[in-house]
Amino acid sequence: MSIKQILVVFGLLLSSFVYSQNKQILYGFAEMPNTLMVNPGAETNFRYHGGIPGLSGFSLNIGTSDGSLADLFLKDNTPFNTKFENLSNKLTNRSFLSFNAQIDILNGGYRLDEKTYLSFGMYQEVDFIGYYPKDIVELLYYGNQPFINKTVHFSDVKFRGEVLGVIHAGISYKMNKKFNVGGRFKLYSGSLHISSNNNAGTFSTAQGGSNVYRHNLTNINIKSNSSGFFDAEENLNVGIKDVLGNTLLSKNIGVGVDVGFTYHYSPQIEFTGSVLDVGFVSYSKNNSNLSITGDHNFDGINLLYDSNNTDYWSQLDSEFKANVPRSTNADSYVVWRPIKLNGAVRYSFGRARTNKECYDVTYKEYYNNSVGLQLFAITRPLSTQVAATAFLEKSISENFHVKLTYTMDDFSKSNVGVGVSTQMGIFQMYGMFGNILKFSNLTVATTASMQFGFNLIFD
């Protein structure tokens, strides 16, 4: 890959849409089946449900921590290089893009008894997070001339991405009138994985030494793992057919669990919480792991003017390889999944009705309005990312519900979202839009989202 291609990829990724894992509108909304995927301890009150294959759950969250598509691609007369330089100046080594897409392939559920609801299915997930390696990108873009007597840090290189399939089965169980708990077992099938994290070391070009400059590689410790990208001959070999095929029972197997609860403190006050994806995947197929370690200083070629016909370059090359050894292997490795936490408190008010369905043993009161707060957190390589959401939910009728959200996170401090859920007979559908204030011109938005799903629900 050329320097141009590398920089284009960085630029595109950082300025294009990214997906986060926060499903703030879906969480706890209208007791839909899909809420079980973000809280296995969510309450349900239907006999069974079946998702329409491929369409039962689709979510798209879009955002950038810094920058937008318009920064690079707006139609104006600014040279593209200038736009790239302006964007890079705006970004820091804490700027990131995160990309997550989950899509239900199959989703269903069945009420075992009054207290127990089972759900199961399969979904595919694409997950990526990469921090902007500002020093490295600018070293490639400008060369080392602007970095004379400055230090370039390899610790800025932090990224992780994977494509996997998840087969899952969960249970939501009513302990008593106040307390509902749930859990979900997940079997992961890894298709692609690549990561590099906890890197260390610096590169510098300093005036002085035996020559005009001394180039220093100091405390280098760079490691990366990948699975599914390279064949036995270490050639890049990624086919979409294999990528999708391996999301169903590949050799890269892992397990994980989700747990969650719903607690009714009073008829009007409810607490919920969940922990998702506590688990790991063991990657063993088509692995390629890289390690580079060591220290090296380079002053140039020291001519000796003796009669030995010294092969100076070979000597330097051997010295470099001895001082900074590079090794690769295909060893298996284990990757922990990013853990997500959700928590919410809800206060319901307004007109009440009771006993929505015969399966609802709580005989709880259903109010047509509620407000509350939600918190979301996800473990990420540099730090845990957190989002806070305030919401207002209103039931227009028994079968038509609306939820308004206001979310603050790394992407935006003014993200207003709206979701609707409706049921006609057994046919239930929902649609949600985040950052609606910027929907008229997404090119300058740092975040936007859309979710929809179709289910068949049998009361």
Partner 1 sequence: MKKLKSTPMFLIFILMLSSCVKHLDFSQIEDFSPQPILESSLVYFTLNQVDFFDQVNSVEVVTPIDDTSGFTILKSKFVKDNLIQTELNIEVNNQFDRQFTVHITFLNENDIETHRFDPIIVGENDPNFKQLETVVIAGNEQFLMSTKVRVSIELSPSSDGSVLDPNIEQKLEFKSSGIFYLKT
- Residues in contact with partner 1 by the rule CB under 8 A: 2-4, 7-8, 11-12, 16-17, 53-55, 58, 60, 62, 69-70, 72-75, 79-81, 83-84, 101, 103-105, 124, 126, 140-145, 148, 205, 209-215, 240, 244-245, 247-248, 298-305, 311-314, 441-443, 450
Of 18 and 42, the one with the shorter C-beta distance to partner 1 is 18
Q: CB of residue 304 vs partner 1: minimum separation in angstroms?
A: 7
Q: CB of residue 253 vs partner 1: minimum separation in angstroms?
A: 18
The H or E element containing residue 392 is strand 385-397
**Cα–Cα dist 300/319, whole Å:** 12
363 sits in the region (left: phi over 0; alpha: psi -120 to 50; else beta) called: left
* Backbone dihedral angles phi then psi of residue 34, each to the nearest 5 degrees: -65, -20
* Backbone dihedral angles phi then psi of residue 137, each to the nearest 5 degrees: -60, -45
Q: Where do runs of H (alpha helix) occur along 123-231?
A: 134-142
**Cα–Cα dist 438/446, whole Å:** 9
Q: CB of residue 316 vs partner 1: minimum separation in angstroms?
A: 9
Of 316 and 339, the one with the shorter C-beta distance to partner 1 is 316
Q: CB of residue 118 vs partner 1: minimum separation in angstroms?
A: 22
Torsion over CA: 357, 362, 368, 372 (sign): negative
Of 117 and 141, the one with the shorter C-beta distance to partner 1 is 141
**Cα–Cα dist 243/262, whole Å:** 37
Of 101 and 386, the one with the shorter C-beta distance to partner 1 is 101
Contact 385, 378 (CB under 8 A): yes
Of 101 and 200, the one with the shorter C-beta distance to partner 1 is 101
**Cα–Cα dist 76/43, whole Å:** 52
Torsion over CA: 236, 239, 240, 245 (sign): negative
Amino acid identity, position 381 = P
Of 204 and 225, the one with the shorter C-beta distance to partner 1 is 204
Q: CB of residue 438 vs partner 1: minimum separation in angstroms?
A: 10
Q: CB of residue 12 vs partner 1: minimum separation in angstroms?
A: 8
What is the chain's Cα-based Rg?
A: 26
Q: CB of residue 443 vs partner 1: minimum separation in angstroms?
A: 5
Q: CB of residue 309 vs partner 1: minimum separation in angstroms?
A: 8
Nearest residue to 436 (alpha-carbon basis) of 445, 425, 423, 428:
445
Q: CB of residue 341 vs partner 1: minimum separation in angstroms?
A: 25
Contact 343, 262 (CB under 8 A): no
- Alpha-carbon dihedral angle through residues 130, 135, 141, 142, given to the nearest 10 degrees: 170
Q: CB of residue 406 vs partner 1: minimum separation in angstroms?
A: 22
Of 249 and 392, the one with the shorter C-beta distance to partner 1 is 249
Q: Is 25 exposed, middle or buried (0-12, 13-18, 19+ CB in 10 A)?
A: buried
Of 299 and 365, the one with the shorter C-beta distance to partner 1 is 299
DSSP annotation of 337:
P
- Alpha-carbon dihedral angle through residues 403, 373, 279, 412, given to the nearest 10 degrees: 80
Of 58 and 271, the one with the shorter C-beta distance to partner 1 is 58
